[in-house]
Amino acid sequence: MISLVALWYIQDLFQALLTERFLVPDLFLIFLICRMTKDPREASSVIWPAFVGGLLWDLRWTALPGFTAAAYSLVAVLCIVAWNRIPYPGRNAGLFSLMLLAAQAFVSLARFVSWGGIQGSLTEAFVFQLCAAVPMIIVMALTVAARMSDENAKH
C-alpha cells in the first residue's frame, strides 16, 4: 500500500513540475494493472485503490470530481476481467503491454475529450503523454514476463 501512495505522489509531483509542458503518464494506473497480474482473482486490491487514487487526482487536478476515479476503476475492472478470461498459457508480456497501452490510451482519451479535445495544444499533450508512457509500459511488461517465467517454472 505504501508503494501505491508513493507512486501516486511521484505522479502528482511530476505533474506539478511539468504542467506547463505536458501531461504525465498515469504511472499510478500502470502500476495498479501490473499489481493485478500477481493475483488476478483479488479484484478489490486493485479496484478500490484505483478509485481512491483517481478521486484524489480529480480533487487535485480536475474540475470534475469522480471522473478520473470512474475511468481508473472501469479500466481496472476491464483489465481484471480480460486477464482472467485469458487461459494461463496465453498470458504473456506482449498481451500485457497491449493491455497497459490500451488502458493508458483510454484514460488519456477520456480526459482529452472532457477537456475539449481537438485543440492543437491538447492533441500534442495527448500524443506526448502516450509516448511518455511507453518506457514505463516496457519496464512493467518485463517485470510481468519475469514473474510469469518464474510461475511457469513452478508449474
DSSP string, 63-91: SSTTHHHHHHHHHHHHHHHHHHHS-GGG-
> What is the percentage of the chain residues whose pLDDT exceeds 70?
87
> Binning pLDDT at 50, 70 and 90, where does residue 148 land?
confident
Residue type, 52: V
The per-residue pLDDT of the chain, averaged, comes to: 84
Q: 122 or 12, which is more confident?
A: 12
Q: Residue range 62-72: average pLDDT?
A: 85
Cβ-Cβ contacts under 8 Å for 79 (sequence gap 6 or more): 33, 36, 99, 103
> Binning pLDDT at 50, 70 and 90, where does residue 117 land?
low
Q: Residue range 25-52: average pLDDT?
A: 86
Compute the distance between CA of residue 155 and CA of residue 32 in angstroms, rounded to an integer: 25
At residue 35, does pLDDT exceed 80? yes
At residue 52, does pLDDT exceed 70? yes
Compute the distance between CA of residue 51 and CA of residue 74 in angstroms, rounded to an integer: 9
- The whole-number pLDDT of residue 26 equals 87
Q: 111 or 36, which is more confident?
A: 36
Return the domain boundaries, the chain: 2-154
